[in-house]
Amino acid sequence: MRKTILIFGALCVVILLLFQLEHWSLFALGGSENLYLIISGTLFLLLGVIISRYFFVKRENSKRILRKSSLSVQELRVLQLMSNGLSNKEIGERLFIAETTVKSHVSKILVKLDAKRRTEAIKIGRDLEIL
């Protein structure tokens, strides 16, 4: 969260500096004000595109994965216990289910999250903020 706040703060400072640069350069350029306005407008447009790709593409991908994954409540519980470092047997004891059922849930979680290992599934779960 701090990183996001710092990034947005830095972007605000950069935007304010660009506004000030535009103000100062209009006096220095004299007659070519329109050209400078076109160039600064293009820079602001590019800055907006870069910001939107950086911040919003990752969130859209994670939302798409979450919708596609559609973990059941029991699978989510198993994933949470997996993130605590519990083995299949320990997860089964905590949830009062058989170890083979836990294995089945784990394999379904791996498929739904498109992960190859338990650790990768846990990482994806944390990235999706479901853990």
State pLDDT tens for residues 34-59: 666 677 777 777 877 777 777 666 55
Same domain (yes/no): 53, 81:
no
Same domain (yes/no): 57, 6:
yes
Same domain (yes/no): 123, 78:
yes
pTM: predicted TM-score of the whole model, two decimal places: 0.51
- Structural domain including 97 reads 70-127
Same domain (yes/no): 21, 34:
yes
Same domain (yes/no): 58, 74:
no
Same domain (yes/no): 10, 35:
yes
State pLDDT tens for residues 94-126: 999 999 999 999 999 999 888 999 999 999 888
| Number of domains into which the chain is organized | 2
Closest CA to 92 of 75, 78, 80, 79: 78
Q: What is the CATH number of the domain that holds 113?
A: 1.10.10.10
